[in-house]
Amino acid sequence: MTILSEFKAFLLRGNVVDLAVAIVIGVAFGVVITSMVEDLITPIVAAIVGEPSFGGLTIEIGDSNLFYGRFLNAVFAFVTIAAAVFFFVVLPYNRFVAASRKEPPPDPTTQKCPECLSEIPVDARRCAFCTNPVVTTA
């Protein structure tokens, strides 16, 4: 097998394509949420606090400016993205997995032997494995 054909097989595996799609969608989602935070949420918070813009909040130390408003925008964007991923991806996925992992109902035609815990027919009067008598509870 040539290197080119191995590379093609690697790229065409499902998990590589899925990962690429997830990264592209994740980046686009991040841009939308960052815009929402910077253009909608922080101006509302800034209006409540009394500042015209969060992004312009600075502290001057000597000849340097610390732009803590930009940092606050990044923190708001991160928290919003994390909350959206949790509520719209993680929580529904966990509920789906929990619902699909329910154990099947017990088989009504068998019961456990009280002595050796082997599966025996419900109508059995003696266990086929340990030969102890079985008392039916019906």
In this predicted structure, what is the pLDDT of residue 30?
A: 85
Q: What is the mean pLDDT of residues 3-17?
A: 79
> Contact, 33 vs 74, CB < 8 A?
no
In this predicted structure, what is the pLDDT of residue 12?
A: 75
Answer yes or no: is pLDDT of 52 > 70: no
Answer yes or no: is pLDDT of 20 > 60: yes
In this predicted structure, what is the pLDDT of residue 43?
A: 80
In this predicted structure, what is the pLDDT of residue 74?
A: 82
Answer yes or no: is pLDDT of 31 > 80: yes
| Exposure string for 60-76, b = 16+ CB within 10 A, e = fewer | eeeeeeeeebeebbeeb
Sequence-separated (6 or more) residues with CB below 8 Å from residue 101: none
3-state secondary structure of 19: helix
Largest CA distance in the chain: 93
What is the overall mean pLDDT for the chain? 82
The pLDDT tens digits for 117-129 are: 888 888 888 898 8
State the SS3 of 21-56: HHHHHHHHHHHHHHHHHHHHHHHHHHHHHCCCCCCC
Q: Which two tokens stand for residue 87?
A: 């509520």
CATH number for the domain formed by residue range(s) 12-100: 1.10.1200.120
The pLDDT tens digits for 93-118 are: 889 888 887 777 766 888 888 889 88
CA-based nearest residue to 39, from 27, 48, 31: 31
- Locate the domains of the chain by residue range: 12-100, 106-138
- Distance CA(41)–CA(100), nearest Å, equals 38
The pLDDT tens digits for 75-97 are: 888 888 888 888 888 899 889 88
- Distance CA(3)–CA(13), nearest Å, equals 16
